[in-house]
Every structure is written in C-alpha cells, then in structure tokens.
Structure 1
Amino acid sequence: MAKLGGFSSNGVFISSLPMITSARKFCLLPQATGPSKTQRIMESIPAAEEAGGAGGAYSYNALKRLDSLWSTICNDSAVQEPKKMVSNVSGLFRESEQAEKCIDMFDVVVCGGTLGIFIATALSSKGLRVGIVEKSILRGREQEWNISRKELLELVDVGVLTEDDIYHITANSFNPNRCGFEGKGDIWVNDILNLGISPAKLIEIMRDRFTCIGGIIFEGCIVSHVTIFEDAAVLELADGKILSASLIIDAMGNFSPIVRQIRNGKKPDGVCLVVGSCCRGFEQNSTSDVIYSSASVKKVGRSEAQYFWEAFPAGSGPLERTTYMFTYLYPEPGCPLLEELLEDYWELMPKYQGVSLEDLEVLRVIFGIFPTYRDGPLPAAFDRVLQFGDASSIQSPVSFGGFGSLTRHLGRLSSGIHEAFDNDFLDAQSLSLLNPYMPNLSASWLFQRAMSGKSQSGVSPTFVNELLYANFKSMEKLGDPILRPFLQDVIQFGPLVKTLGLVMISQPLIIPSIFKKVGLPVLIEWSGHFVMLGIYTFLSSYIDPLIRPLLKTLPAKERYEWRRKLEAWTYGSGLDYKL
C-alpha cells in the first residue's frame, strides 16, 4: 500500500540535504517569540549541493517557496490559464526556418532526467537515438528510495539494470516491516519496501549506461516551447537551442508545464502533503514501518488532518533513521501549510519513535506536495508528445510511488513506444493507447477519500484508524496472495472482493460510516470502476488467451492497437503482478 517511503515520485518534493558529516544535535528550547522550530532546525543544518529532480533542493527558503505555491493552489477559486507550451503548425519541419537553427535531431527527446533516464536508456537499448533535456544537473539525491528486490528485478527484465547493479546501489536492507495502527495492533510482513537504494548511485549507473550506448544529455536546459509539425516535434530551450525529434516524452513530473496546459490549470483532485527528516541517534533501528496510522484526526490550523507515518533505517549509518509523516487533503482554503505540519512533526515524531528529539542529530529535513487527479492516466493531448511517469498520473493516488510505478510499467511502455515509433503511430490517439484507462488505479480513489482527515457529521474521529485496521486484519487472515499485492500498489478484483466481504462480515457497523465519510456520489463512481475491474479481470483471464495467438496475422495498425488493449486489460486488472 505505501510506496511513499523514499519519495521517488516526481511531485514537488524538496529536502534539506546537508553533508551528513556536518550534522549536529539541535536542542529545541521553548521560545515565546522568534523563528519557528522548523526554521531554527533547518537553518542550523549546513547547506549542500543541490541535485535535480525530486528532493534535490533544500533550505528553509525552499520550504517557504513551496508553501507559497501550495497556498496558491488552495486559495485560487478560478482556473488560471497556464502558459501555452505546445502549439501545432501546418507544414513540414524540414521546410521551416527552424530546421536551419536545429542543433541536433533525435528519434526521441525525453524532458526531465531523474526518472526520464530510465525510459531513455530502455529506448536507446532498442536502437533509437535519444536525448535528455534536464533543467539542472542530472544526478540523484542523497535521500534513499525504498523498494523491494522484486520490483528492482523488473528493471533487470527490461535490460536497463543488472543484478550486480542492485548489489551496488543497495545502501541498506531490513526486515520485518510493520503495518501499525495506533491503539489497535500491528501486522508484520517481510520484503516490502525493505531495500534502501541510493538514487545517487543508481542515476550515476543509468547515466553512464545511457551515454555509453549513444545517448546525449543536455543539462542546465529549460524547456521553453514545443512546436508540433507534420513530420517532427521541435523543442525550443530557454537558451535558444533548438532540438527536433519524432517523439517528445514529457517526464517533468506532476507540475510539468505541458501537463498544466493540458489540464488548463485545473486544481488537483487530491493532494498528499509529506514532511519528515533523517536523523542520527536511533538505538532501535532494524525494522521499518510501511504504514502507521494515528489513532484519530488532529486539528491543524483551521483544518483537520489524519496523520500517517513511515519509518526506515537509513543506509548512511547504523543509528540513522528516516521518518515521514503525511496526510491526504483536498486543496481548499484553510488547508495546513507544510511548515505547520513540520511543527506537529517535531512534537509527535519522538513519541512515535520512542526517542527524545534532543538526543537526535538532524541530518536532513524532507517535505513535499504530491498532487493527483481522478482522470489518470492522462491520455496524450498532442501528436508526437507522450506523458511518462508522474506526468502521466499513472502512479497510485494512495502511495504516490513514482519509482515503484516506473519499475512496473517500464517494460510495457518501452516496448509500446518502440512499436509506435517503428510504425509512425505517433498521433495523439495512438499514443493515448499507451496511457489507457486502468480501473484498478481509478478504484484506488475511494481509499484516498476514506483516509482523508476531513470530518463528517456522525463519523468518529477514530474512524480512519479503525477502518484501516479492519481491512489489514482481514487481508492478513486471507494470506499473502491478498495482502502483498495491495502493499505493492496493485489492486486486484478477487482479493478486493474477498477483503470487502470479510470486513462486512466481521465489522458490519463500520459500513454506515464509510457511506457518511466518502459520500454517495463517490461510492457510485467507485462502483463503476469496481465493475470495470471485474470485467477487465475476465477479459485478461479468458479473452486475452484467445486473441493473442492471432496478433501476428493482423495488419500493423490493428496489431499495435490490440497489443495495447491486451496490456490495458492485464495492467488495469492488476494481473501483471505475480507473487
């Protein structure tokens, strides 16, 4: 369920990244006036070099900038028309004036390198000429990403990683892993988010592999505009450089300017706010928390929040541990700021971990905004432009696990993109088949709504904790085939039916509160996705085996479309997941 650990997602995620050897203990003394605890802690940590992508920036000023952005999202009642990043023109690129100014021509250009380098390397290994445009320096941050070995092996299957690479990038491993519910009980599992991998080492390996097979990286380059011709897509950079490609892959994350244009500045349907830190001084540091839910909602400013926690040993030292606190919200006036959440975090984290904050050395401060939309995945809106990763809204609206989503879908997407390129199926309709409707992803929306902290009349403030405990206990009773897929972001029809059935039998009094909590319109919408989940499961299980042998007999266009349809059935039903 929880892939927040490690924050590989390309939401707006920023951390304070000091040199670990420079960290020191920070004693929190009560002050009636002056800077907040958060400001004093962050300003006491020496600055380090920034990295691009999620978690690469730092400082208290970065926190204030992100809070300003978050406030704008919450308070804007009217849709603000975003900058027009993509435009269509008639005619051929090779006959245009821009062709004379083009400095390089590619088969594919990937915008955004932190996660984009994976799809870029996969496509390069298939023989395509690929370039990457990265607005800063293409390197991974110091804060680890948490994932399971099973998921990393999916990258080995695609061919972008080797098993030897997994050994070199693994900074830490730990078992068992807890799913805890305050005041109710714990459930323990093994091999779920139990590896801490170094993004710095991983991206370095990917970068070397990409350049060795002919890939080119343009660093410190900001995308200014994309022009779609009949025969090419032209990328204009802020420094005046012009690149052309048959296909542009937008891997610039949730806040991609191209995505903003497609969505016309629409507010996110939901947001996860995350704060946390990596500290030294934890004596008990051999296990992890995949998820730990607080007993009840908490008043934060003018709003209410249900807090959830994660905790993982850090690979940088035996006494170092990363802890996250997060909450699900709908962006509206009165929502808490990240700094307000951090103030709560410094107060609540010591109780959660059984330590004194004065005995810890704060190494990093972590904070981020992860928005999501109900209509994900996002179909292609332009010819020759495809959203990838978080920009495509293909990540879970519960866990926001961008890296886990990448490992799951990279093989499907790289093969599909290569087939589309080979056959010149680069129109928006054909590209949209690569980001199809997936009912298991849409069904996850109910879980986010149910886990939000906003109170409703007649719903107990302890409802979320009780609901989660009832669901997890039911899945534990039903065994690994039910529990493990859910913990790794895969919703399947059979396990979902069994879990809901057992919860209704064992906890019938909780059902009315679910109706009150999420509302009838959301339940009706969810029911449609639930039915489609069952239909996709049937189609993938029984119709797919009948159609697949016939694909080779079809014309190229129909073969491409049917392959994408079969993939949508399999991935949309969660049947791609194998224990």
Structure 2
Amino acid sequence: MVVIQVQLQPHLPKFNGLLQHPFVSNIQRPKRLSLQPKALSSRTQRIMEGISVGGEVGGAGGAYSYDALKRLDNVWSSICSPQTAVQEPKQVVSNTPALFSESDIAKKEVDKFDVLVCGGTLGIFIATALSLKGLRVGVVERNLLKGREQEWNISRKELMELVEVGILTEEDIDQATTSVFNPNRCGFETKGEIWVSNILNLGVSPAKLIDIMRERFTLLGGVIFEGCSVSSINVYQDTAVLQLMEGKILSASLIIDAMGNFSPILRQIRGNRKPDGVCLVVGSCCRGFKENSNSDVIFSSAEAKQVGKAEAQYFWEAFPAGSGPLDRTTYMFTYVQPQPNSPTLEELLEDYWDLMPKYQEVCLDDLEILRVIYGIFPTYRDSPLPAAFDRILQFGDASGIQSPVSFGGFGSLTRHLGRLSNGIHEAVSGNLLDYENLSLLNPYMPNLSSSWLFQRAMSARKEAGVSPDFINDLLHANFQSMQRLGDPVLRPFLQDVIQFGPLVKTLGLVMLTKPQILPSIFKQVGFPVLIDWLGHFSLLGSYTFLSIYIDPLIRPVIDTYSTEMKYKWKRQLEAWKYGAGLDYKFEDEEVIYSNNTQ
C-alpha cells in the first residue's frame, strides 16, 4: 500500500469528524512517498498536531502539545503498572556532607538566602509573602517563570485572601481578571440542577497574575533563577545547600519544595508508593459558543461509562474564557485508583470529543479549537505531608494540602498562604527548622481527610456492584439536601471547606429523605473505608470543639511562653481552626437556585 505524506499548514482547526482529516483543505503537493504502512492516528492526535502550542510553561496544565500528552500518559502508565521491578527514586536530599564542610561554605562564594523556593508557578506567591516580611528569598524555576495561558477559575472572596496577606491589591485583581460570569450551575444529568452565584465565577489570567507577583517579588529584593533544575540538596546543622544541575550552588536556612505533584524530593519521600487516588482531567478551550454567560461548577453524567477495561464516572466543568466573548473552556474529569486497566488521558480525550457536544449543546464542526487541556492529579490519604527532613518543607501541591475532590492547588494556596507565611517566618526567625517543628506547618487536618469518603463515593468501581446511575443519584441527593439547608451549608462545600455542623446536617437529611440509598453507599465505599472515615469524622467534631471553646482560653497566655513553645501552640491552634474548616467565614451572598427536574 502506498501512503502519501503531506506538509500541512498549522492553523486553528475546526473539527470535521472522526474519519475525515481536519486539515484536508490545506493539502499541498506530496513531500515524499512511503512504501511502508502508516498507523492511523487518533482523532486526538490529528486535532492536537494542528494547533499552535507556543508558550508552554511549567506547572499543572501548562503544556498543550500531543507529544507532552504522550509523555504524561507514559508517566501515568508507569504509576498504574504492577511495578514488579521498579527503579528506586533518585536520592535528591542527603544529610551526608558530600559537597564540602560547613566551614568551607563560609569560604566559598555561595549565594546565601533565608529561604529558597524550588518551583515558581505557585512558589512565587509564598516567596513574595516571605519577602514582604523582610526575609531574603530566592526562587528556582526549571522553566521561564511565567503563567500558563489557560485561566484559573476562582471567586473574588478567595482572591481577597491574598489581599489580606498583603501581596496583592484589589487593583491587581481587577487587572488579572479576564472574565466575570454568573450564575453558576451544579447539574445532575436527568435529575435536575441548582444555580448559585459567585462560585468560581472569575477567570483569572495566570500569566498576568504571575507577572504582577514577579515584579513585586523582585522589587522586594527577591532573586529568581530561571532555567535551573535541582540536582541535590545537602542538609547541614546550620544550613541547607542546594546544587543546581547548571553548576550553581546556593544555600539557605530553609528550602521550600513547591515543585508540585511530581517533585523529585516528594518522590524520594514517598518512594514507589502508588497514590491512593487520582483525578484525570481532559478538556479544551474552543471559540464559537453562542451562549457563554454562565458556568458549570460541576455537572455529573447520568451513568458510569465503560472505558477500555475499566469503568469511569464522568464529571464536567465549563467556564467562559477571557480570550474572547465566544470562547469557552470545558473540562471532563474522573476519579480512579491507579491500576493496570485504568484509562489513559488519550482514551478520555477520545470520549471527550464524543460527549462534549451533547453536554454543551453545540456542534464540533462549528467550533475553533484553541487548545487541548489535560492533567493527572495524584492524592494520598496521609496528607498534608509532614516534613521528612530538617530545613526542607513541602508547599502547595507537593504538600498534598489541596482537596482530593477538587484538586485545586490555587484555591488551597489562597486559603492557607497567610497561615503558612506567618508560620514559616516564625520558624526561620526562631531557627525552629528541624523536621518536627516544620511538620507543625503541615498538620493533620480531619476535614481534609474526611473528603476522602467523597472521592471514593465518586469513583466508579465495577466490583462495587451498584447501579450505573448511583453516583449521579447520590450527588443529586446531597446537593438537594444542602440547598434545603441553605447558604451556610452549601457555599462552604462548594469552596472546598468541610465543616462538622454542615456535614452532620447534610448527611442526616440525606438519610431521612433517601434512606434507600444507604445500602449502595456501603457497597460503593466499602466498610474498611467507612470505618476509617468515621475516625476522621469524630476528630472533625473534636477539632471544632477545641477551636471554638479551648482556643479562647489558651490564646491570651501564649505570649508568656518561650519562643519555641509559643511557636508550637500557635501552630496547634491553627491546626484546630483550619482542620475544622473554621477559617472559612460565611458571607451572605445572593444564591439563585432552581429545582428543575428533567
């Protein structure tokens, strides 16, 4: 068989069906003839190879090319493999003085910092907050330090927490905000929908926001090392020495690991342990939508779907994009446990092209595909991750402080940045940088651990033996109950905050109004998981009590303690408050809802 290969002019394609090549109108004369059979490319490959992918950056969601998709799928396949023979992770951190002695450090020309932040996409935020407190901070970034094209979706209430920390102004927020949209839907296919306002209703440009942070950081005296990768870290009694692959040597009192879910330091700590759960995300930003004034916070498909040898329950999100009035971003995601038969991102994208038109009531032929989006977000039950080494602290996604349900790293950053920047400043100032004191900055949080039950309940499992529409039915029942209970229950949950009182009310109302669903819940999550969750649920109640009633008794006398005891008690009070979700303050905002039943 003779296959003709052609040179194609890249442009933003409109999709023209599964079997028809999307660039057929641009065929030029053949470049060469091949007598070898050529494998048929997937629909996803044909689409992605016709889209310009300039401007790829580091961080989750920063790459858009087909080659990058295949690389990430290879990483995902290695996570899912049985791992009968696995190479040990590189030992990046060492307590052995391999470079030189501490006395040699003083003699050599080594750049010295109070804090070094490795990973700049989210690390620039904590770096700026610490610089604002007077510390000398450096940021090490493997790529150029800039944000991705695709917006972060967040509420203004959450962004205002960065204003309270002092690293942003309200004018900065207005400058970085590219789109504002209301109302916002929580939908359940074939069941109904609830409409709310001011939840994830801003599209914020990461490129603009990080440019603002970068400028502010450098004005405060911060130093950025771009195009630099971590080679090794040697921890000494009085300092930590970071050697870059490019040969430069830096030292700091504290090194913050903000390199995300695939940080080499994180791999060293966790070894070859598989994640307890993973969220797989695919999507696209397209131009040509006619109705583009509202968003979907979540929309669940009616039934779990067969994907290869596995089952997957699909969920959706959709937001207007700031790149144009007819541009819209749609995400499809699913929760899985890493197993050899787990679906790949490319398999999910093949489903996405089939299902998205029905979900958005649009024809793909009418859309211009601007970019394709994908990512994998692993999570572990023992999160947040305690410090494993002296003078090294995990931050952001690397710490596991994000919700296992929403996988939103930027949202958790805004919530915890004030607490962490204060605590880190106290730790550095008081030289409380051993792993035990640093672990107090990433404490056990029962509200975060309680979220694991929700992820398990939203993960399709063949062996559970429940109805294909169980997950959609369960979500609808929960959201109906939260709607009936009002804004103080619904709004915290939609912003990733689990609180004891609202959770008790919601579960109680679900059991009263839909008791027939309880046997399926037990089958879906399994009794071992349920028993484990009950322990976290009990501690959630305990933390709530301690924060409300014991905190006021202890706080007035803390200043009489020694520096170290004061530090430890402040971290304990924060653990109670944040671990109970009591840092979230409900604001009475208009909520529009509908009980439309299809």
Q: TM-score interval w.r.t. the shorter chain?
A: over 0.9
Does the 8 Å contact 1:279/1:363 carry over to 2? yes
- Counterpart of 2:208 in 1: which secondary structure? helix
Counterparts of 1:191 and 1:80, CA distance in 2: 47
Could you tell me which residue of structure 1 aligns to residue 218 of structure 2? 211
Give yes or no for the alignment of 1:355 onto 2:344.
no
Structure 2 counterpart of 1:30: 19
**Partner of residue 48 from structure 1, selected from 34, 54, 58:** 54
- Number of residue pairs matched by the alignment: 559
Amino acid at match of 1:30: L
1:209-236: CA deviation from partner (whole Å, max 9, x where unpaired): 0000100000000000000011100000
Contact 2:11/2:50 (<8 A) preserved: no
Give 2:550's aligned residue.
Answer: 543
Structure 2 gap ranges (5+): 1-9, 22-38, 587-598
Match of 2:541 in 1: 534
Higher relative contact order (CA 8 A, sep 6+): 1
Residues 99-138 of structure 1 aligned to structure 2 (within 5 Å): 99-138=106-145
SS of 1:254's partner is helix
Q: For residues 421 and 276 of structure 1, do their structure 2 counterparts lie closer, same or farther at Cα, with a shift above 3 Å needed?
A: same
State the distance in 1 between where 2:11 and 2:340 align. Answer: 39
The SS at the match of 1:456 is helix
Cα distance, 1:53 vs. partner?
1.9
Contact kept, 8 Å, 1:93 with 1:232, in 2: the verdict is no
How many angstroms does 1:91 deviate by?
11
Mapped pair 1:509 → 2:483: no
Mark the runs of 5 or more structure 1 residues left unpaired by the alignment.
Answer: 1-20
What TM-score do you get using the length of structure 2 for normalisation? Answer: 0.92
CA distance in 2, matches of 1:336, 1:489: 27
Rounded to whole Å, the distance in 2 between the matches of 1:101 and 1:72 is: 42
Asked whether 1:368 is paired with 2:357, we answer: no
**Counterpart position of 1:73:** 79
Residue 90 of structure 1 deviates from its aligned partner by 6.3
Write the deviation string for residues 228-266 of structure 1: whole angstroms up to 9, x where unpaired.
Answer: 011100000001110000000000001100011111121
Indicate the residue corresponding to 2:26 in structure 1.
Answer: none
Separation in 2, partners of 1:412, 1:205:
22
5 Å-filtered alignment, 1:414-493, equals 414-493=421-500
Match 2:525 to one of 510, 518, 523:
518
| 8 Å contact kept, 1:80–1:264 | no
The 2-side partners of 1:492 and 1:106 are apart by 39
Paired with 2:52 and 2:261, the residues of 1 have a C-alpha distance of 29
Whether the 8 Å CA contact 1:147–1:194 is kept in 2: the answer is yes
Secondary structure, counterpart of 2:261 in structure 1:
coil
Superposition map of 1:292-441 within 5 A: 292-441=299-448
- Any conservation in 1 of the 2:102–2:236 contact (CA below 8 Å)? no
Distance (whole Å) between structure 2 residues aligned to residue 56 and residue 472 of structure 1: 32
Deviations 1:172-211, CA, capped at 9 Å, x for gaps: 0000000000000000000000000000000000000000
1:101 deviates by 4.5
> Partner letter of residue 309 of structure 1?
W
Q: Work out the CA distance in 2 between the residues paired with 1:192 and 1:110.
A: 31
What do the CA deviations read for 1:517-558 (whole angstroms, capped 9, x no partner)?
010000000000000000000000000000000111111111
Which residue does 2:32 correspond to in 1? Answer: none
Query: Is the Cα–Cα contact under 8 Å of residues 455 and 461 in structure 1 kept in the other structure?
Result: no
Distance 1:84 1:324 in 2: 36
Report the secondary structure of 2:153's partner residue: strand
Of the structure 1 ranges 455-464 and 515-524, higher mean CA displacement relative to structure 2 is found in 455-464
The letter for the 2-side match of 1:51 is V
Equivalent residues of 2:53, 2:371 under 8 A apart: no
Task: Decide whether the 8 Å contact of 1:93 with 1:229 is kept in 2.
Answer: no
Letter matched to residue 28 of structure 1: G
TM-score (norm 1): 0.95
Name whichever of 24-33 and 561-570 sits farther off: 24-33
Aligned-CA RMSD value = 1.5
Pick aligned residue for 1:63 from 66, 69, 76:
69
Check whether the contact 2:99–2:234 (CA below 8 A) recurs between aligned residues.
no
2:173 paired with 1:184: no
Contact residue 312 and residue 323 of structure 1 kept, 8 A? yes
Identity over aligned pairs, percent: 72
Partner of 1:18: none
Distance in 2, matches of 1:532 and 1:152, equals 29
TM-superposed deviation, 1:99: 4.9
Q: Which sits farther off after the overlay, 489-498 or 450-459? A: 450-459
* Contact kept in structure 2, 1:90 and 1:230, CA below 8 Å: no
Please report how far the alpha carbon of residue 89 of structure 1 lies from its aligned counterpart in structure 2 after TM superposition. 2.9
Paired residue for 2:269, among 262, 275, 281? 262
Counterpart secondary structure, 2:381: coil
Distance 1:420 1:103 in 2: 23
8 Å contact kept, 1:43–1:59 = yes
Shift of 1:92: 12
Report the equivalent of 2:166: 159
Q: 1:83 aligns with which of 73, 79, 90?
A: 90
Highest Rg: 1 or 2?
2
**CA displacement, residues 395-417 of structure 1 (integer Å, 9 cap, x when unaligned):** 00000110000000000000000
Letter in 2 for 1:242: I
**SS, match of residue 57 in structure 2:** coil
Structure-2 separation of matches of 1:359 and 1:236: 52
Cα shift at 1:22: 5.2
Work out the CA distance in 1 between the residues paired with 2:143 and 2:98.
Answer: 33
Deviation at 1:81, TM superposition (A): 1.9
Amino acid at match of 2:432: F
Deviation at 1:453, TM superposition (A): 1.3
SS in structure 2 at match of 1:153: helix
Q: Distance in 1 between matches of 2:468 and 2:13?
A: 38
Alpha-carbon distance in structure 2 between the residues aligned to 1:232 and 1:327? 43
For residue 569 of structure 1, what is the aligned residue in structure 2? 576
Q: Is the 8 A contact 2:117 2:255 kept in 1?
A: yes
CA distance in 2, matches of 1:414, 1:560: 13
Q: Partner letter of residue 413 of structure 2?
A: L
In 2 relative to 1, CA 75–92 (structure 1 residues): closer, same or farther, beyond 3 Å?
closer
Paired position in structure 2 for 1:289 = 296
**C-alpha distance after superposition, 1:25-80 (max 9, x if no partner):** 23224269721110110011123122222222231111111111111110143464
Deviation at 1:95, TM superposition (A): 3.5
Deviations 1:288-326 (A, max 9, x none): 000000001000001110000000000111110000000
- The residue number in structure 2 matching 1:9 is none
